[in-house]
Amino acid sequence: ELVMTQSPATLSVSPGQRAILSCRASQRISTNVAWYQQKVGQAPRLLIHGAATRATGISARFSGSGSGTEFTLTISSLQSEDFAVYYCQQYNTWPYSFGQGTKLEIK
Amino acid sequence: QVQVVESGGGVVQPGRSLRLSCAASGFTFSTFAMHWVRQSPGKVLEWVAAVSYDGTYKYYADSVKGRFTFSRDNSENSLYLQMNSLRPEDTAVYYCARESGPYYNPGAFDIWGQGTMVTVSS
């Protein structure tokens, strides 16, 4: 089974600063990676698909990069509504799998 | 409005059964693969099951294989998750989600429901 490993588990960043979240796949998965944002009590929301393509309506402050096994989600100029949990997911190989999440908290 | 709405959650005793439903609207339901994803309280997302756009192929996580059955009715724009032999570790919010790639194209999950809570407890 393909494992997605996110780091760090928790990231403390000040508003206005930049956050960089990482995700590593246990096998090569091309660019079949998505990033989701989840706030407490809400369903996940798709941010990025194809490793680097923003979903409809997503702010340009969110950007994704990477291919193969290493992937990154960058959030620039953090705003209060960005503090949440972020998950990466691979949809290259069955079973599809999620990372364990990175909690982005206010510093 | 493109949306999916889950229903059918509740409290059930271990070993019993429960059937979840997911109603889709606002898009051509019959052209998209659909999934169930669950999240135990305070835990991470866990993919549970998938069904291809035409219902031909079904995939299950090892944790539910043999106990859960995923089906779809394209004439009713609906999905069903029959959960048998429920265990306390099945306690979670269950989300219905659309896979963005139409037909057999792989894709991210672009549409999610609000989730329905299943609690397995005696």
Q: Give the separation between CA A30 and CA A20, rounded to whole angstroms.
A: 20
Q: Please provide the size of chain A in residues.
A: 107
- Distance from chain centroid for Cα A19: 11
Taking only the tens of pLDDT, chain B with its 122 residues reads 999 999 999 999 999 999 999 999 999 999 999 999 999 988 889 999 999 999 999 999 999 999 999 999 999 999 999 999 999 999 999 999 999 988 878 899 999 999 999 999 99
Verify whether the Cβ–Cβ distance A96 to B35 is below 8 Å: yes
Which positions in chain B touch A95 (Cβ < 8 Å)?
A: 47, 59, 61-62
pLDDT in tens, A14-51: 999 999 999 999 999 999 999 999 999 999 999 999 99
pLDDT in tens, A55-69: 999 999 999 999 999
Verify whether the Cβ–Cβ distance A89 to B109 is below 8 Å: yes
Count of CB pairs separated by less than 8 Å, A with B: 57
Interface membership of A36 toward B (CB under 8 Å): yes
Residues B78/B72, Cβ–Cβ less than 8 Å: yes
Interface membership of A91 toward B (CB under 8 Å): yes
Closest CA to A55 of A72, A33, A79, A40: A33
Interface membership of A31 toward B (CB under 8 Å): no
Tell me phi and psi for residue B77, to 5 degrees.
55, 45
- Label residue B48 left, alpha or beta by phi (over 0 means left) and psi (-120 to 50 means alpha): alpha
Q: How far does B114 lie from chain A, in Å, by closest CA?
A: 6
